Amino acid sequence: MGNYLADRRKALGLTQKEIAELVDVSEATVSRWESGEIANMRRDRIAAYAKALKTTPSFIMTGDSADKELPAGATLYNAQNVAPLLGTVRAGMPMYAEENIEDYIPIRQTDGAKYFWLNIRGDSMNAAGMDEGDQILVREQPEVENGQLAVVMVNGNEATVKYFRREGDLVILTPKSFNPVHQPQIYDLKKMPVRIAGLVVECRKVFR
């Protein structure tokens, strides 16, 4: 951090107040960034700051040339295209509450929809290629078509990943596992609240 951030802002004709509004922080925070008083910054803040200064995340973190040319065939990494990796997701609290966010992971999607990542726990979907510790990307939406893979919350409990089907007032959540202990779960919507959190669009393998 340091004066290069202030120099870039001034070159663009922007005030600290305008940057603060673009990044959604206080004007005092911008001042502390520019003075180097705050040396570490959250990844989503870096992305927003880079966008506000019309530069790259690398410039924000290191001061590398804001207009550096990329090697032939390379694509600029846009840290704005990230989605939060959520911890426990419960129906009774906002998904994007600060206490739920563990990290930010890049995504390829640019459709403007809201996405989030979840860690896979257990082996109920290992026959579908989702193993313990993998991360799935979820497109936030309240409905999915029958047979689609969804993140669902039943009775306000933690999110579960299953193939979704609805027949009238019945919801069937079907696992796909090599472990025979996992069987379809059937819920009567008149007796048990079931909420769709989103559609699973991608699985990210995590090798530990």
Q: Where are the domains of the chain?
A: 3-62, 82-204
Strands of the sheet containing 170-174, edge to edge, are 101-106, 82-86, 115-119, 135-140, 194-204, 149-154, 160-167, 170-174, 185-188
* CA gyration radius, the chain: 21
165 close to 189: Cβ distance less than 8 angstroms: no
Torsion angle in degrees (nearest 10) through CA of 81, 87, 89, 94: -60
Query: Comparing 56-60, 92-96, 124-128, which segment has the lowest mean pLDDT?
Result: 92-96
Q: What is the pLDDT, as a whole number, of residue 98?
A: 55
Would you place residue 37 in the very low, low, confident or very high pLDDT band (cuts 50, 70, 90)? confident
Considering only residues 189 and 68, tell me which one the structure prediction assigns the higher pLDDT. 189
In this predicted structure, the answer to whether residue 59 has a pLDDT above a threshold of 70 is yes
Give the active site residue among 35, 162, 177, 205.
162
Looking at residues 179-184, what average pLDDT do you find? 93
In this predicted structure, the answer to whether residue 127 has a pLDDT above a threshold of 90 is yes
Considering only residues 106 and 196, tell me which one the structure prediction assigns the higher pLDDT. 196
Torsion angle in degrees (nearest 10) through CA of 4, 69, 17, 10: 60
Name residue 38's amino acid.
I
151 close to 144: Cβ distance less than 8 angstroms: no
Name the 3-class secondary structure at 9: helix
Looking at residues 1-11, what average pLDDT do you find? 82
Looking at residues 53-63, what average pLDDT do you find? 81
26 is catalytic: no
Q: What gap in Å lies between CA 126 and CA 118, rounded to an integer? A: 15
Looking at residues 55-61, what average pLDDT do you find? 80
Name residue 60's amino acid.
I
Q: What is the pLDDT, as a whole number, of residue 62?
A: 76
Under CATH, which number does the domain 82-204 receive? 2.10.109.10
pLDDT tens per residue across span 70-124:
445 444 444 457 788 887 665 555 666 555 778 778 888 888 888 999 988 889 9
In this predicted structure, the answer to whether residue 200 has a pLDDT above a threshold of 90 is yes
Phi, psi of 196, deg, nearest 5: -85, 125
Give the active site residue among 58, 124, 176, 191.
124
162 is catalytic: yes
The proportion of the chain whose per-residue pLDDT surpasses 70, expressed as a percent, equals 83
What is the third-level CATH fold of 3-62? 434 Repressor (Amino-terminal Domain) (1.10.260)
pTM exceeds 0.75 = no
